[in-house]
A and B are shown apart, each in its own frame.
Chain A
Amino acid sequence: MASSVVLLLIVLAIALGPLLWRVPINEIDFAAKLEGPSWTHPLGTDDLGQDVLARLLYGGRVSLAVGLCAMLVASFVGVLIGSVAGMSRGSVDAILMWLADFFLSLPQLPLLLLIIYLFREGLKNVLGPEGGIFVMIVIVIGGLRWMPVARLVRAQILSLREKEFVEAARALGASKLRQVVRHILPNALGPVIVAGTIDVAAAIIAESTLSFLGLGFPPDIPTWGRVLFDAKDYLDIAPHWALFAGAAIFLAVLTINFIGDGLRDALDSRRVL
């Protein structure tokens, strides 16, 4: 419960913060560079004298948006593949599940880096520097995380498709699509929601990792990972800079994970002890 309150506060701060805290994120002021927290700059300033609070509030929007969109991509692909595999037994099912196992055994971060390395320039030309990197990060992170959802959905469908209410729908002449969308999926939603919650946290970490390695968003978009990347060289003289950025990532991920865990306990009737 406490974690949903904290997460709500984070989301509210990110959504409304930039409206209330009207300091521009890119106002350079060398007179005030690398200052600790003060009344004019509650979270201090960075090496160009930019306000860290304003940058974190803005960056949080990008980080959370990436997390949510990547989760949506992963859930959509996962539900689609899981449903197809679950409804069509035989070779299609076997191939799709082999594909899921194969993707599960891929080293995600090296592959993510490789894809971003190879495609960054191309997408930048098509969609612009910011849009391109956003779309690519969301698609790649989402595209590498669909497997758990697909397996969950398939397992649910395998058991639900034999239940009486689905059989009734089948007897009434419902098409396979209608059986899945109207009857099976609503009943299989619980575990998918739990997996989706945890995916949001994982996607935020993945995006921060990329930005932290200097391969994510460009410097003028201060996502949390990017701020941490810029701050890491000033750890000795301005530790507040890195600490606040890291704490933001940590708090968001921790609360989302806690909520996922709580949801699992609430939705799962089979509890240990």
Chain B
Amino acid sequence: MSREYVIRRLLIVVPSMLGISLLLFTVLALAPGDPFGELASNPAVPPEVRAALRAKFGLDDPVWSRYLHWLAAMVQGDWGFSFVSRMNVDTLILQRLPTTLIVIGSAQLLAIVVAIPVGVLAATRPYSVFDQIASTFAFIGFSLPTFFTGLLLILVFSIQLDWLPFVYRADINATGWQFYWEHIKQSIMPVTVLGLFQGASLVRYVRSAVLDVIRLDYVTTARSKGIGERKVIVKHVVRTALIPVVTLVALQMPIVFGGAIVTEQIFRVPGIGSLLISSILANDTPVVMGVTFVFACLVVLFNLMADFVYAWLDPRIAFR
């Protein structure tokens, strides 16, 4: 991976971030409703005071100057103040972000660990019984919306069997191993819901990527050299087939975040997804904007990482 490629790819991030900020600001600016709407209807506030306040906060400035002000504030880390939580938006989001990242990360890990072996096995024996079963389950898996799988798991494992808690608690008062055990126990269901949904579509990608590669001449060459079937698959086929899968995983990221919001809401995981929903229900605009922006940044970041991994796996890419 050449340095030039890294720099060029990093420079693409700037316009996408600007684009996202512009889009968010446009949506906000187009929206009906006035942050000073309450003041306008309050008879105790004289019109001169209202006009002075509007002028002070720059609400009468032209749109582009408001956008620049807003952008400058965002860049400097001044994300506004949460009306409901009575704290700065950036601290609030930073408190919640690790939980979300842990849940999403473990779910991705689970998806990859399940999907790659299943997809490869299915592709090495196409249209066999195993392939049929795996494909059917993959299809069912990504047709099942996350909110329904979540409820099903709660019904079976929390209500019927009473094995797992269905409310995620941040304040577990246990120490040592007990603490970690409780945390693992309450994470199992959210991670499973998200991971299996991801894994289901991943199985299909892996299967078709392996199928594309397995008929190529260099694989036949490897076989004819007398390399064992297992080694051919693992060392020759899978390594090549996984390159496009990296991109597909990155392209799935926006959907993963959608699933994470739903999952956090069902299991009451205190991450930024449930923060988004509760802020929407509480009309807490600065937090809603902040969280949406963070989600967009995360997607850009994951795309960037995927491109780097891609260039590292496939050196040809850097010369395009």
Contacts and interface: CB of A to CB of B under 8 A. Distances in A.
Contact of B258 (A107, A121, A272): A107
A236 interface: yes
Interface in A40-61: none
Contact of A114 (B24, B145, B159, B254): B24
A194 to B, nearest CB: 15
A254 B300 contact: no
B159 A235 contact: yes
Nearest to B142: A257
Contact of A254 (B32, B139, B151, B212): B139
Contacts of B33: 118, 121-122
A121 to B, nearest CB: 6
Interface string B125-158: 0110000000000011011110110011011000
Interface string A196-207: 000001000100
A214 B147 CA distance: 12
Contact of B32 (A115, A122, A257, A272): A122
A30 interface: no
B103 to A, nearest CB: 15
A201 B139 CA distance: 13
Contacts of B299: 105-107
Given A105-B254, A107-B295, A249-B145, A121 B32 contact: yes
B207 to A, nearest CB: 9
B6 interface: no
A101 to B, nearest CB: 9
Interface residues of B, number: 53
B145 A117 contact: no
Interface in A91-107: 102, 104-107
B31 A249 contact: no
Contacts of A225: 147
Given A109-B261, A110-B291, A110-B292, A119 B32 contact: yes
A118 to B, nearest CB: 4
The SS class assigned to the B binding surface is: helix
B303 interface: yes
Contacts of B296: 106-107, 110-111
Interface in A226-273: 228, 232, 235-236, 239, 242-243, 246, 249-250, 253-254, 257-258, 261, 272-273
Nearest to A99: B19
Contact of B289 (A114, A121, A201, A209): A114
Nearest to A252: B143
A106 to B, nearest CB: 6
A215 B155 contact: no
A22 B20 CA distance: 49
The SS class assigned to the A binding surface is: helix
B295 A257 contact: no
Given A106-B254, A236-B159, A250-B145, A257 B292 contact: no
Contact of B280 (A105, A117, A119, A239): A117
Contacts of A254: 139-140, 143-144
Interface string B257-301: 110011001100000000011001100000011011001101110
B267 to A, nearest CB: 11
B139 A258 contact: yes
Nearest to B254: A107
A273 B31 contact: no
Nearest to B28: A118
B31 A119 contact: yes
Contacts of B30: 118
Contacts of A102: 16, 19
B255 interface: yes
B280 A250 contact: no
Contacts of B262: 109, 209, 212-213
A26 interface: no
A260 B33 CA distance: 42
Nearest to B289: A114
Contact of A212 (B147, B253, B291, B292): B147
A242 B151 contact: yes
Interface of A: 102, 104-111, 113-115, 117-119, 121-122, 201, 205, 208-209, 212-215, 225, 228, 232, 235-236, 239, 242-243, 246, 249-250, 253-254, 257-258, 261, 272-273
24 contacts: A102-B19, A104-B251, A105-B300, A106-B254, A107-B254, A109-B257, A113-B292, A114-B288, A114-B289, A118-B32, A121-B33, A201-B143, A205-B145, A209-B145, A209-B258, A214-B277, A215-B281, A228-B148, A232-B266, A235-B155, A239-B159, A249-B145, A254-B140, A273-B126
Pairs A-B, 7 closest by C-beta atoms: A109-B258, A122-B32, A118-B31, A246-B148, A254-B143, A107-B295, A110-B295
Given A102-B19, A213-B262, A232-B151, 4 more contacts: A105-B254, A111-B292, A213-B277, A249-B148
Interface of B: 16, 19-20, 23-24, 27-28, 30-33, 126-127, 139-140, 142-145, 147-148, 151-152, 154-155, 159, 208, 211-212, 251, 253-255, 257-258, 261-262, 265-266, 276-277, 280-281, 288-289, 291-292, 295-296, 298-300, 303
